[in-house]
Amino acid sequence: MDQFLAELAGTATLILLGDGVVAGVVLKGTKNENAGWIVITIAWALAVVFGVYVAGEISGAHLNPAVTIALAAAGSFDWALVPVYLAGQMTGAIIGAILVYLHYLPHWKNTPDPGAKLAVFCTAPAIRDNTGNLISEFLGTFVLLFGLSAIGANRFAEGLNPLVVGLLILAIGNSLGGTTGYAINPARDLGPRIAHAFLPIHGKGGSDWGYAWIPIVGPILGGICGALFYNLIF
């Protein structure tokens, strides 16, 4: 139960801060409206940092089904714990998305574009091409797990690891994120997408379920390959 709650709390923190910055940038009438991509990538990196600090001592702060499954596939995590971690991550992602909705409550009605409202919750490709989009999510998460494995193999001052992980997320976002919005985390995309579907958001439109499989399949496959490749060569 402690691990479930840690993953829930860490992932909720991740989504509250990560989806929160997207809301601030794309919704009408906020103080940081139109602040741009760099603001989003920096805040998402910091969202990961603080999510890791929340959960790290108890669960190791996976906060991402692709991380949990990849570590299990690589033999460094117990498969029996995978359902517990995934349940915590998905629950936390939905809770975080609900908190973002409540925080920006007056701004939904003032934002006419349903695509902007959906973008607060989940990713969408810059150019819709299933093959290209799947490759982008695969490669971004490959780099994530390869990088996390490399970070784990190095010694840092106590408490510094989450900051280094945040820098990795910042690099992925700025270098590889412009194609699909770098979900690189099935819970980060699917949980808020579910919240978008049931929340009473004014003029929200559809939840784009036809695309939803890509930020699930791509990250899971990319994460497994990234972790296994690191183990293969080192």
Distance CA 144, CA 142 (A): 5
- What's the confidence (pLDDT) of residue 180? 98
Residue 213 CB: number of other CB atoms within 10 A?
13
Q: What is the pLDDT of residue 160?
A: 87
Q: What is the mean pLDDT of the chain?
A: 96
CA distance 215 to 16: 19
Residue 37's CATH number: 1.20.1080.10
At 154 the pLDDT is 83
Written as six digits, the tokens of 49 are: 């940092």
**pLDDT reading at 156 higher than 90:** no
For residue range 95-142, list pLDDT tens digits in order. Answer: 999 999 999 999 999 999 999 999 999 999 999 999 999 999 999 999
User: Which candidate, 195, 214, 212, places its Cα nearest to that of 204?
Assistant: 195
97 contacts 201 by C-beta, under 8 angstroms: no
Q: Is it the case that residue 223 has pLDDT exceeding 80? A: yes
Q: Are 222 and 145 in contact (CB under 8 A)?
A: yes
Question: How sure is the predictor about 23, in pLDDT bands with cuts at 50, 70 and 90?
Answer: very high
How far apart, in Å, are the Cα atoms of 11 and each of 6, 77, 81, 178, 189? 8, 19, 17, 23, 12
Percent of the chain predicted with pLDDT > 90? 95
Q: Domain tally for the chain?
A: 1
For residue 158, the model assigns a pLDDT of 66
Whole-number Cα distances in Å, 127 to 19, 92, 168, 181, 203: 21, 29, 25, 11, 24
SS3 215: helix
- The pLDDT tens digits of the residues spanning 26-51 come to 999 999 999 999 999 999 999 999 99
Alpha-carbon torsion 108, 114, 118, 123, what sign?
Answer: negative
What are 167-189's pLDDT values in tens digits?
999 999 999 999 999 999 999 99
pLDDT digits (tens, 9 = 90+) for 56-104: 999 999 999 999 999 999 999 999 999 999 999 999 999 999 999 999 9
Residue in this structure with the two tokens 């994460």, named with its chain if needed: 223
DSSP single-letter state for residue 81: G
Q: Do the beta carbons of residue 230 and residue 146 sit within 8 Å?
A: yes
> Residue 107 is inside which H or E element, if any?
helix 107-110
Domain that holds residue 185: 2-233
